[in-house]
Amino acid sequence: MSTTTPASVTTPATTQRVAIVTGGSRGIGRAVVDRLVADGHAVAIAFAGNQAAADSAVEAVRAAGGRAIAVRADVADENAVSALFDLVEQTFGGVDVVVHAAGRMDLAPLAQLDLDVLDQLHRTNVRGTFVVDQQAVRRLRSGGALVNFSSSVIGLAFPGYAAYAASKGAVEAMTLVLAREVRGRDITVNAVAPGPTATELFLEGKDEETLARLAAQPPLERLGTAEDIAGVVAFLAGPAGRWVNGQVLRANGGII
C-alpha cells in the first residue's frame, strides 16, 4: 500500500468530520471528494492504481484549504481495507463518513460474457462492497453515514448489463440489511443509484447520436453530472440527511 500524506494532516483533529471515499481520484468519486471538502470534511481518497490522479486530487484539496490523504487499496482485499481505515484513524482521529464509489463495469450479453470477467466484476462490486461496509460499520463513529453506490441500470434493464446490474442488486440488498443491523448506533446506511452521468469514462466511445438519445430519456432532458451525484451524497452524509436511512436514492433525472 502506498500513501500520499501532506504534512498538514499529520496531527489528528477529532472535531472535524472525516470521510473515506473509495474510487475518489476520478469521476463521480472525485466530485464527491470536492463536495465533502467544501462541506468541511477531511478526506481520505482510496484508489486502486492511478497514483497520478490520486495525487492530483489531494493537491486540489490542499489548494482549496482542505485536508486529504491518498491511499492505495484494493477494496476486495480485507487486509488492505483494514489498513486504510487504520491509517485514516491515525491521521485524522476517526471516521464519520464512508462513501464507497469504487466499482467495475464490464458489459456484454449474458450469453457471451466470459465467466472469468464475471468473477472479477463480482469480486470488485460485491465482495468489495461487503469488505468496505464491514470495516465501515466496525469503525464509524456515532452520527456517521455510510453511502454505497448502486445504479439505475437495475430498473432500466439495458441489454448487455446483466452482470453489472446483478452486482448492483447485491449492493442494494447489503445496504438495506445493513441499515437494520446497525440499529441503536446512530449510523445511517443508504445507497445512491445514478442514471447516465457525463463522466469521462461514460462518454468514452459513445457517438453524438447515442449521447443525444440517452440525454433525451429523463424528463429533465440532459445527462447527469458528477456534481449532481455528489450533491446527493453530501445530503446523505450531512445533517440534513439524518432521517434518511435504509434507502436507495435513484439520482437519474426521473428516467425511471
Contact criterion met (CB below 8 Å) for 19 and 40? no
Is position 91 within any domain?
yes
Full-prediction pTM beyond 0.75?
yes
In the chain, the number of structural domains is: 1
User: What CATH number has the domain bearing residue 65?
Assistant: 3.40.50.720
Distance CA(195)–CA(150), nearest Å, equals: 10
Distance CA(110)–CA(219), nearest Å, equals: 30
Is position 214 within any domain?
no
User: Looking at residues 10-38, what average pLDDT do you find?
Assistant: 87
pLDDT in tens, 80-125: 999 999 999 999 999 999 999 999 999 999 999 999 999 999 999 9
Catalytic: which of 85, 164, 202, 235? 164
Mean pLDDT of the chain: 93
Residue 72, strand partner residues: 47
Assess whether 161 carries a catalytic annotation: no
Can you count the helices (H) and strands (E) in the chain?
A: 10, 8
DSSP 239: G
Is position 167 within any domain?
yes
Residue 241, domain extent:
3-197+226-249
* Coil vs helix vs strand at 45: strand
Provide the H-helix boundaries in the chain.
27-38, 51-63, 78-92, 115-122, 128-139, 153-156, 162-181, 200-203, 208-216, 226-237
Give the alpha-carbon dihedral of 11, 13, 16, 20, to 10 degrees.
Answer: 60
Distance CA(93)–CA(37), nearest Å, equals: 17
